Structures are given as C-alpha cells and as structure tokens.
Amino acid sequence: MIARKLVHTLFAASLIAGCGGHEDRAPKTAAPRLAQAQVGTAALVKTIANHPTPATLVAENQVQVASRLMGYIRAIHVAEGQQVGIGQKLFSVDPVDVEGQVEQARAGVKQAEDALADARLEFKRFEALFKEEAVTRQQFEKVKLQHDLAESRLTQARAGHATASGQLRYATVTSPIAGVVTRKLANTGDLAAPGHPVLVVENPGKLQVETQVPEAVLAGLKPGSQIQVEVDGQAKPLAARVARISPAADPLTRTFLVKLDVPAAGLRSGLFARALFPQGEREALTVPAAALVNRAGIVGVFVVGQDGIVQFRMVRSGEGRDGTVEILSGLGAGERVVTGGADKLESGDKVGS
C-alpha cells in the first residue's frame, strides 16, 4: 500500500513538472522592425503598344574588297580593327601570270615596231619610184596598204601592252574608302580570285539598323518616321528614323526589309538590336523604377500589406519609360509597393512614411 501511494505521488509530480516545462518553452513573438520608407501604388497607365522586331546594326558604307586578278595572296598589309585611308595598301597578289602577259605584249610591240620600220622604208622607196613613173599605181597602192597595216598592228600591240600593264597594277589592292578593317576572309598564301572577298572595310561614322517587318507593321511606316531602337549594352532606347523601305517582300519570310538611321556614337556594327514599331496604345501596369530591387540575383519589389508589413515579391519587369517600369507579372493594380529606401528593408519589416 505504501509503495502504491509513492508511485501515484511521483506520477503526479512528473505531470506538474511537464506542464511547467511546456509553459517555459512557449515561443514569444518578436515585434517587427520599424523602418522609414516611401510608398507608392502600382497603377495602370496608357502607353504605346510596340511591335518588336529583331534587328542588327550595320555600317551604311561597307565594302567587300576582292582581287581583280587570279593569283596567290603574297601579303596582307593590314589587321582587323585597323583604321585605313582611301588608297592605302591592303594586300598584294602574286602577279606571275600577268607579268608573263606584259612581257608577251612588250615583245609584240617590238615586233610590230620592226615591221613598221621595214614597211616605212618600202613605202618611201615605192613612193619615189611612183613619182618617177617607174612603178604602176597598183603596185604603189599595194605597198601603201602594207604600210598602213603595219601602223595599225603597232597601235594594237601598244594597246595590248597598256592593258597588260594596267592589269599588273591590280596586283596591289588598295582601300576604296576610309574606314576600319572589320573582317579578314583570307590569309597569306590563299588563292585570290575575282568575286571572292579578302577583306571587309566599313566606315563606322554612319550606322543603320536593318530589320524585317511584316506587312501589317509596314502599313503605318513611311520614310522619316521615328522609331525607338533598343541596342545591347545601351541603357536607354535610341531614337532612329526610317531611311529606306524595301518595295518587295522576301519570298521566304513574307517580310519587308527596313533600314533605320541611328546615331553612331559609341556603337559598333554587328550589335544585336530590337526595333520597336508603334502600334497604337495599350494599358500597362507600372511602378516607379526605384521600386525594383535585386536580392541575390532576383528582381522584385517590397509589397506593403494593410498592416504596414512588407514582403519581398519576385516580379517580371518590362520596358522602362519616364522614371517608371512596366510590370509584366507578379503584381496587381492598386497594390502598394516601397518606392524609396527598399535597399535597407527585409521581409517582415514594418514601414512608416
């Protein structure tokens, strides 16, 4: 009996101790950290509806330099990225074949000159005999014809020599424009041939944007129209103007080539771009640009609840314009967001203006 009472007493004590321990481990809710921040509202606004098309920056004045002779490239005198002037030597071609033609033409000239000298002596002799009536007119006219033919052959031989010599100067190829060597398409020792470019030279002073647009977009375009162009590496879109519109569509893509003049300062040909062709208006959800923050590589905003507690929320942003940024997803119209001081906030903080 005494042992049974002792067991009951120990069990009751353990229950009391357990209850007391549970009360000691109950979590205590910490008050949110207060922070000062500016708060704004995500709003729907009217904005321009753009039709984006992929585009490329190209130099308006670009030349693919090729040899007019067939021959092996003896030397390339410039490097990619090098500035060149008009008439500057670019590369030279081994002119062995042309030199042979020049020598052959020179020999032809010498032969024609010797033939003319003989014909001239014969003509003078027969001319004197004809005056003395020692030969007939028919004999004299025959010798005169031989003389005239010799003169004609010499003229032809000299023309052939001049043509061959002119071809020889094409062994050295010079730049037709002032600009920059942007591409090297062959190396020393390669066979150069007419119609096969060796170098590309372009003038970077004036660039254009080339893009293809569908017929629906083309209907609202005309030369001189202003178009916004986004270029990789540029913080803001550039203002471009329509320079030329192709009158015929590409038979494969059914799109039209459009060229836009764009300021060349700080740009290079070959960069990727996007041409934004206006297509009326649309509604866009926007927030001040200062509302966007980057946390660990994730772009988002701090959304303010009814109780003033902020929570970081990932969003997908779009175009920026006039200090605002379009929000494509992750946020609703009328929601309040932190627009100033967001860089010092953490989720769970409470803001006050």
Taking only the tens place, the pLDDT of each residue in 73-99 is 989 999 998 999 999 999 988 876 665
pLDDT over 50 at 3, yes or no: no
- Is the pLDDT assigned to residue 211 strictly greater than 90? yes
**Which domains are seen in the chain, by residue range?**
34-46+284-352 (2.40.420.20), 52-60+205-280 (2.40.30.170), 96-169 (1.10.287.470)
Q: 165 pLDDT band (50/70/90 cuts)? A: low
Nearest-10 Cα torsion for 128, 132, 137, 142: -30
> Tell me: the pLDDT tens digits for 179-207?
899 899 999 999 888 889 999 999 888 88
The radius of gyration of the chain's CA atoms, rounded to the nearest angstrom, is: 43
Residue 86 has what pLDDT? Answer: 92
Using DSSP's 3-state secondary structure scheme, residue 310 falls into strand
Higher pLDDT, 294 or 32: 294
Minimum mean pLDDT among 157-171, 243-257, 294-308: which range?
157-171
Q: Which residues contact 34 (CB under 8 A, 6 or more apart)?
A: 349, 350, 351, 352
Which token pair is 220?
């609202």
In percent, the amount of the chain with pLDDT more than 70 equals 87
pTM over 0.85: no
Which residues neighbour 310 within 8 Å (Cβ) at sequence distance 6 or greater? 37, 302, 303, 304, 338, 345, 347, 348, 349, 350, 351
Instruction: Give the separation between CA 348 and CA 266, rounded to whole angstroms.
Output: 44
Name the pLDDT band for 17 (thresholds 50, 70, 90): very low
Which pLDDT score is estimated for 197? 93
Question: 3-state SS of the chain: helix, strand, coil percent to 5?
Answer: 30, 40, 30
pLDDT-based confidence at 55, cuts 50/70/90? Answer: very high
Question: What band does 256 get if pLDDT is binned at 50, 70 and 90?
Answer: very high
Q: What is the pLDDT of residue 102?
A: 66
What separation, in Å, do the N-terminal and C-terminal C-alpha atoms of the chain show? Answer: 73
DSSP for residue 29: P
Mean pLDDT, residues 293-316: 90
CA-CA distance, 94 to 186, in Å (whole number)?
Answer: 15
pLDDT at position 13: 43
Q: For position 114, what pLDDT does the model report?
A: 85
- What's the whole-number mean pLDDT along residues 50-64? 89
pLDDT at 12: 45
Cα of 70 vs its chain's centroid, Å: 32
**What was the pLDDT predicted at 162?**
74
**Distances 120 to 106, 123, 126, 141 between C-alpha atoms, Å:** 21, 5, 10, 13
Tell me the per-residue pLDDT of 19-31, one tens digit each, with 9 for 90 and over: 444 444 545 556 7
106 with 157: CB under 8 angstroms?
A: no
Q: In residues, how long is the chain?
A: 353
Give me the residue label for tokens 């609840």.
305
Asked if residues 181 and 164 have their Cβ atoms less than 8 Å apart, the reply is no
Across the range 247-256, mean pLDDT stands at: 90
The pLDDT of residue 137: 87
Cα-based distances in Å from 101 to 97, 152, 245, 325? 6, 21, 47, 71
Please return the burial class of 201, using the count of CB atoms within 10 Å of its CB with bins 0-12, 13-18 and 19+: buried
**Token pair listed for 116:** 């003319």
CB 231 within 8 A of CB 269: no
